[in-house]
Amino acid sequence: MKEQFYQYIQKLQDQICAALEQCDGEAKFKEDLWQRAEGGGGRTRVIENGAVFEKGGVNISAVHGALPEAMQTYFGVNNANFYACGISLVIHPKNPMVHTVHANWRYFEMYNQQGKVVDQWFGGGQDLTPYYLFEEDAKHFHQTCKTACDKHDPNFYSEFKQKCDSYFWNSHRNEARGVGGLFFDYCKASDNFSMQDWYNFVTEVGNSFLEAYIPIVEKRKPISYTKEQRNWQEIRRGRYVEFNLVHDKGTLFGLKTNGRIESILMSLPPHVQWVYDHQPEPGSEEEKLLKALKNPVDWLEL
């Protein structure tokens, strides 16, 4: 399974990077190959200062070795080894009318001292973070997610949408990070769903990403914007940073386990503002976004 999934994420990285470069029309991804001293490595690709994308990264990694102490405590195991591979991406467009997007799909194995697999699971998801709310974009993104889910289980979309709404919640701000999408973790084999079934589902979602995101970018990137709208985008990006550094499990785990700092912090936008007690004008498009982020929305029922 690990070889099968690693081959998949290598191809997916190539496909996503090529599509994003074509959409941008100017910038190209810079590749950075790296090795992890404890075992394994990765292929980081970053795009910066493009016509459309101000900063973005599409990274793959496959690491292995002794399970870090923090994870042994978390999983309640001793002297275990692990293998983990996955692809993770964050794209920050320049135009505030174009939405930030995040996605990742990953696979994990845990071994005992004899090298036997004692646990394995998939995880991942994709979510959209607008600065200006276009309901039809949220509908398109969620409909693409639902279409992918429905091919495997009619309950997956509602279950994983709810988990996404719960996970990407800035509790210290009492608001969502964005308009959600899918989030799933610890997807393990059961009597009626094998690991191959999970592989088929996760790759279905991964393959749907470009269909979910690129049409939105193409529709919104020609829209002109003002300096004030750009300021709003940078203020909202501050909330994105807050979530990643305060709540995100992957970021916190990487920082606590000697992870590769450049790859971990790749998700942070290049230009951000924190304005004291900033409040949008009543009735404005900015206020409209904040109201939508106060409670989860069923975007497909609007």
| Residue type at position 32 | D
Catalytic residues: 102
